[in-house]
Structure 1
Amino acid sequence: MFEAVEGLLGEHAELEARLALPETHADARTAKTLNQRYAELTAIITTWREWRQAGDDITAARELAAEEPTFAGEVEALTTQREAAEERLRRLLVPRDPTDDKDAILEIKSGEGGEESALFAGDLLRMYTRYAEQRGWSSEILDSTESDLGGFKSVTLAVKARGATDRSGPGHAPYGLLKFEGGVHRVQRVPVTESQGRVHTSAAGVLVLPEAEAIDVQIDENDLRIDVFRSSGPGGQSVNTTDSAVRITHVPTGIVVSCQNEKSQLQNKEQALRILRARLLAVAQEEADAAAGEARRSQVRTVDRSERIRTYNFPENRISDHRTGYKAYNLDQVLNGDLQPVVDACVEADLEARLAAVEAE
C-alpha cells in the first residue's frame, strides 16, 4: 500500500510548481482544488518520510544495541514511533470525501407520530445546536415550520466552522462529522399527549448536506422558477401580511426549496439559494460516488436513508446506533450536546470500511 506514495511524489512536485504560477490563482475554483490536493499530498508525503526515517533509525539503533545494550530502549521507542507513523499513513492513504472540509446544512423533518414526532425534531435541533457550541462552531436556523405544541414539522439548520483552525485535519469540519447524522432517528418515550403513560415510538428524518460555496456550484438564473407567498405559522395561520416567503424551483433537476423565516423577500431568496446550492452539490457528489464504484464507498454512509440509524430510548436513558453497534445509557447528556462519542464510532467504522476496500484493491 505504501509503494503508492512514491508515485505521488511527482504529482506533489507538479502541483507545487503550478501553485507558484500567478495565472493559477486567476481562477479561484482551480486554485482551491489544487491547494486542497497539495495539502492532502503534503500530509501523506511528510508522514511517509517520517515512517521511512524511523525505519533507518531503528536499523542504526539495533547495530548500536548489539555493541551497547543500553541502546535497546532506543530501539523500542523508535519502533513505537514508526508504528504510529505507519497507522497515520494508512489512514491518510484512504481516499477522502472531498466535501469533508465543508460546513453543513441539516434538514430535520418530523415523520410518523404527529405532534410527538415534531417535538422530537425539536429535541434533535437542540442536540445539534448544542453540539455545535461544544465544537466551537456557529449555527443558524435558515427555515422552519413549527407545530402547534412548539415542535417542528421541519427545520433547516446551517452549521459553520468559525475559521481554518476548526477544519484542520480530516473530519474536523462540520460536514465531515455531521454527515453521519443523515437518516431516520427513532424515539421511544411517553408523549406529552399520552394520558395512560404508555411508551410510544415515533421518528424524525435528518438530511445532511455539505454547504456549497458559489465557486462549487454554478447556478444559471434562467434555470430557476421563483414564486413568492405569505409566511405561515403553527396551524397554517398567516404570520406575515406581505409576500416575503420564497419558493425556488431548479427546473433541470426538479429540486424545490422554500424559505420563510426572514422578514424580507431578498433575505429569504438568499437563504433558499444556500440550501439549493447544497442540494445540487450533494447530487453531484452522489453521482461521483456511483461512478467510483462500490469498493470506494463508505459502508456507514450507504445505509438506505429510509432505514432507522439510531434509537433514543427515554425510559432506559439509552441511545443505540444501529450501524456501528454503539450503545450508551447517557441519553440525557447526548441530547444536551454530548454527541462526540456517538459520532466518533461512526467515523471509525467509516474509516475502517474504506481502508479495507483500498487494501482489497
Structure 2
Amino acid sequence: MKKISLIEKLEKFKKEFYEISKTITQSDVISDPKKYKILLKKYLKLEKIVFLYEKYKKKWNLLQEANSILIEDSDSDLKQLAYIEKKEILENLYFIEKKAYKLLYQEEKSEEDNLEEDHKNAIVELRSGTGGYEACLFVEDMLRMYTMYFKKSGWKYKIINIQKGGIKGYKEIILDVNGKKGVYGNLKFESGVHRVQRIPKSESQGRVHTSAITVAVLPKVQEIEVNINLSDIKKETFRSSGSGGQHVNKTESAVRITHIPSKITVECQEGRSQHKNFEKAISVLRSRLYQNEKEKRLKKISIQRKSLISTGDRSVKIRTYNYPKSRITDHRIQKSFYDLTGFMNGNIQKMINFLKIEEKNKNISILR
C-alpha cells in the first residue's frame, strides 16, 4: 500500500469522525440511549484512527522539510542534522503506519463481514400459514415464482424437502439455492409473511379470500462456521411419502434429525440415499443454528434490527399480492407494482433493488 493511499484512507475516516462528532451532540441522539451507545462506540474507534492520522501528518510534513534541506541547502552541517532527523522521522512513520494499518484492518474487516454474508448461498423455506388449502396453493405459486427468478439469475437449486398439502399445493418446501455470488444478498429480503388476496376457484360467490405463507431465507454456512456435535443429534428414518417411484416408498431413505440442545427438527426425503438425505438435513440444521445465533446478536443491538429492511423476522407481514387489482405491495418500503403476472413469473429483481437501496439508506441513517 502506498503512503498516499494510506493518507486517503485515513482522510475518509477523519471525515466520518467529524460527522459523528456533530451528530452525537444532538438532543434527539442524546435522548435515545441505544442510538447514542452505537454512535459513541463508533466515535471512540474513529478517534483512535484520527489521533494517529494527525500524528502521521505532522511527521510527514517534517519529512518533506528534511528532504527539502537535503536537496536544496548547501550547508553541510544543516544537511547532516536533516539526515539524522529524516532517519528518526522514517522510524516514527513506520511505527505509526503499523498501528494505523492494524486499526484500519479492524474497521474494514467489520464492514467486510457484513458484506461477506450477502455472497453466501441460501436455504429457502416456504410454509403455508393461515388460509388452509388456499395457502398451500400459494406456496406452490411462490415456488414457481422463485424458481423462475433463479433461472433468470443463473442460479441452481435443489429441493431438500417437500410436504404435500392435500390434493394440490404444498405445506412446506425447503430449497438449497446456489449461484456465483449474491444469492443470500438478494433473497434475504424475502423473509417474512407473504399475504395473498384472491378469489379461490372453489368460491362460488366471487368473494376475495386472504391467506398467507411464511418465507425464511437462511445463509448457507460451512461446517467450519457452525460446528455440530453428532452426539447432540437424534436421527430417525422413515419411508418417503414424496415422489421418486417405488424405491423411495419401499426403503427407509427419508431422514428426520432433531438437534437436542435447540430442539430444531429437520426432515429430508427427496433423495434415494439415506446418507445423502442426512447430509442435506445437517446442512439445513447448520443454517438454522447460524440464523439463531445471528438473531441473538441482533437483539443485543435492537436499534439496528429495527432499522434494517432484512430482519428475517417471519412474523412480520412484508408483502401483499392482490390478484383482483393485479397489485404487489411491499409494506416495508410502501412500494406497489401493478404487474402481478410478470412478478409471479419471476420478475422480482426490481422490487429487491428498491429494498437494497432502502437497506443502505437505513444503515447510513444510523450514523446520522
Q: TM-score, normalising length from structure 2?
A: 0.66
2:294 aligns to what SS in structure 1?
helix
What's the offset of the Cα at 1:219? 1.2
Structure 2, unaligned runs of 5 or more: 1-6, 14-109
- Are 1:306 and 2:315 an aligned pair? yes
What's the offset of the Cα at 1:232? 2.4
Equivalent position to 1:106, from 113, 124, 129 = 124
CA pair 295-261 structure 1, distance change in 2 beyond 3 A: closer
The residue number in structure 2 matching 1:338 is 347
The Cα offsets for residues 1-32 of structure 1, whole Å up to 9 and x where unpaired, read as xx9942999xxxxxxxxxxxxxxxxxxxxxxx
Question: Which is helix-richer, 1 or 2?
Answer: 2
1-side partners of 2:8 and 2:163: how far apart?
51
CA pair 322-343 structure 1, distance change in 2 beyond 3 A: same
CA contact 1:297–1:354 (8 Å) conserved in 2? no
Instruction: Indicate the percent of aligned positions where both proteins have the same amino acid.
Output: 42
What's the offset of the Cα at 1:304? 4.8
- Are 1:141 and 2:159 an aligned pair? yes
2-side partners of 1:4 and 1:352: how far apart?
24
2:218 aligns to what SS in structure 1?
strand
What's the offset of the Cα at 1:93? 6.5
The residue number in structure 2 matching 1:67 is none
The residue number in structure 2 matching 1:38 is none
CA contact 1:112–1:202 (8 Å) conserved in 2? yes
CA pair 295-204 structure 1, distance change in 2 beyond 3 A: closer
Q: CA RMSD in A?
A: 2.7
CA contact 1:119–1:149 (8 Å) conserved in 2? no
- Are 1:6 and 2:10 an aligned pair? yes
2-side partners of 1:183 and 1:199: how far apart?
22
What's the offset of the Cα at 1:311? 0.4
The residue number in structure 1 matching 2:150 is 132
2:361 aligns to what SS in structure 1?
helix
2:214 aligns to what SS in structure 1?
strand
- Are 1:257 and 2:261 an aligned pair? no
CA pair 347-99 structure 1, distance change in 2 beyond 3 A: same
2-side partners of 1:204 and 1:295: how far apart?
26
The Cα offsets for residues 93-121 of structure 1, whole Å up to 9 and x where unpaired, read as 79835411100111000111111110100
CA contact 1:108–1:155 (8 Å) conserved in 2? yes
2-side partners of 1:276 and 1:338: how far apart?
30
2-side partners of 1:313 and 1:145: how far apart?
26
CA contact 1:296–1:354 (8 Å) conserved in 2? no
The Cα offsets for residues 145-204 of structure 1, whole Å up to 9 and x where unpaired, read as 11223211100011111x3xxx2xxxxx11011001001000011112222222111111
Poorly superposed stretches of 4+, deviation over 6 Å? 92-95
The Cα offsets for residues 311-338 of structure 1, whole Å up to 9 and x where unpaired, read as 0011111100000111010011011000
What's the offset of the Cα at 1:289? 2.5
> Which structure would you say has the larger Rg?
2
Q: TM-score, normalising length from structure 1?
A: 0.68
Letter in 2 for 1:155: I
CA contact 1:94–1:355 (8 Å) conserved in 2? no
The Cα offsets for residues 215-248 of structure 1, whole Å up to 9 and x where unpaired, read as 22111111111111122259xxx97122221111
1-side partners of 2:200 and 2:249: how far apart?
32
1-side partners of 2:114 and 2:356: how far apart?
12
What's the offset of the Cα at 1:290? 3.0
- Are 1:294 and 2:298 an aligned pair? no
Equivalent position to 1:159, from 173, 177, 190 = 177
Pairing of 1:1-361 with structure 2 (within 5 A)? 5-6=9-10, 96-161=114-179, 163=180, 167=181, 173-233=182-242, 240-292=249-301, 294-295=303-304, 298-302=307-311, 304-357=313-366, 359-360=367-368
1-side partners of 2:151 and 2:312: how far apart?
28
CA pair 7-245 structure 1, distance change in 2 beyond 3 A: farther
CA contact 2:191–2:312 (8 Å) conserved in 1? no
Letter in 2 for 1:133: K
2-side partners of 1:233 and 1:221: how far apart?
27
